[in-house]
């Protein structure tokens, strides 16, 4: 069993406080991200698939992404630079509409990615420097309002060492643990305990290598060669932690449209779009997750590394 999987119980053996699960209620998925555009680059096709299946999906964005660089040269204009917060908010609204998801801002300030040696200090008042209880209460409030059965966030590395991604993980775990406890944040709404928590895992070495080799076999240039040459094999590969693969290739075009909605961050001529869609769908038709917490069933039975469902073990419980 995944050592991170746990069951939450009180001393008397009873489960943590949780609202009733009537059989006629819709299933609900919440994904928690650090910045606008993260929701479109991490698990967007999964969200689109579940929306199409009638599941309610909410994306929570912890910060406004104000410190993000303009990575698309076509968008690097004085007008955009003069109003990065407004631009990022508009981009996020467009992406959410494309994915068909509800969206909530937690309202914290982007910490930026410190660079240099030594790295500069983080700006005062940013998300990564907020006392943990402050964003935790904010997320608990949204969780208790939306009442998700499944929560998706980042692992302890943040996916990469951006301070906001690491803090997003810390806040998500703290909110998971507090959400169903009536003694924690009593002013934040009626307790509600989500049933499963996953970490999203993006580009494993196996996935990048599969893309690279498929392009070469087709006689095409691969934009992944340099990345593979620089791959640090001493660093743990997130692919080794995957427990659950969700088939969602049909929704890759929706994912790409949502990505392109973040026009300041995504260059439509960049390597993310170098591989033909049909090839992507054939070579790697899934998005990957790691089950980190579960209050339903035996993970060995509910999780599938080939044809997974984030709601496995929950559908049976709620009759959905």
Give start and end residues of each alpha helix (H) in 66-190.
78-82, 84-99, 133-146, 163-179
Beta strands in the chain (DSSP E): 28-33, 56-63, 102-108, 150-153, 196-201, 244-247, 286-294
CA distance 47 to 31: 9
Phi, psi of 281 (to 5 degrees): -65, -35
Residues paired with 152 in a beta bridge: 31, 198
> In the structure encoding, which two tokens stand for residue 233, read together?
């094999």
> In the structure encoding, which two tokens stand for residue 36, read together?
């606008």
User: Contact, 249 vs 280, CB < 8 A?
Assistant: yes
CA distance 320 to 302: 15
Specify the length of the chain in residues.
Answer: 320
Phi, psi of 9 (to 5 degrees): -135, 155
**Sheet-wide strand order for 286-294:** 102-108, 56-63, 28-33, 150-153, 196-201, 286-294, 244-247
* Residue 38 annotated in ligand binding: yes
* Residue 103 annotated in ligand binding: no
* Residue 162 annotated in ligand binding: no
> In the structure encoding, which two tokens stand for residue 171, read together?
């806040």
CA 127 to chain centre: 17
Dihedral sign (CA 228, 229, 230, 233): positive
CA distances from residue 249 to 101, 282, 305 in whole angstroms, order as listed: 18, 8, 16
Q: Annotated binding site for Zn(2+): which residue ranges?
A: 35, 38, 165
Tell me the binding residues: 35, 38, 165
């Amino acid at each position: 069993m995944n050592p991170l999987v746990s069951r939450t119980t009180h001393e008397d053996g009873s489960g943590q406080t949780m609202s009733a699960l009537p059989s006629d209620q819709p299933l609900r998925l919440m994904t928690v991200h650090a910045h606008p555009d993260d929701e479109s680059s991490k698990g967007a096709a999964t969200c689109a698939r579940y929306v199409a299946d009638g599941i309610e999906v909410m994306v929570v964005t912890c910060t406004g992404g104000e410190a993000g660089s303009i990575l698309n040269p076509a968008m690097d204009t004085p007008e955009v630079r003069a109003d990065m917060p407004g631009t990022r908010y508009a981009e996020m609204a467009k992406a959410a509409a494309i994915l068909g998801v509800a969206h909530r801002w937690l309202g914290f300030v982007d910490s930026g990615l410190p660079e240099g040696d030594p790295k500069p200090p983080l700006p005062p008042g940013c998300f990564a420097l907020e006392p943990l209880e402050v964003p935790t209460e904010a997320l608990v409030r949204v969780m208790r309002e939306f009442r998700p059965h499944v929560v998706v966030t980042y692992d302890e590395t943040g996916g990469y060492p951006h301070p906001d991604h690491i803090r997003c993980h810390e806040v998500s775990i703290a909110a998971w643990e507090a959400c169903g406890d009536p003694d924690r944040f009593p002013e934040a709404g009626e307790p509600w305990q989500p049933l499963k928590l996953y970490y999203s895992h993006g580009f494993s070495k196996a996935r990048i290598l599969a893309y690279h080799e498929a392009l070469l076999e087709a006689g095409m240039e691969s934009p992944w060669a340099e990345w593979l040459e620089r791959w640090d094999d001493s660093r743990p590969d997130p692919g080794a932690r995957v427990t659950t693969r969700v088939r969602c290739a049909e929704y890759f075009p929706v994912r790409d449209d949502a990505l392109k909605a973040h026009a300041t961050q995504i260059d439509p001529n960049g390597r993310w779009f170098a591989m033909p869609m049909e090839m992507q769908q054939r070579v790697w038709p899934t998005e990957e997750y790691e089950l980190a917490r579960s209050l339903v069933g035996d993970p060995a039975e509910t999780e599938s590394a080939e044809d997974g469902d984030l709601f496995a073990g929950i559908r049976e419980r709620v009759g959905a």
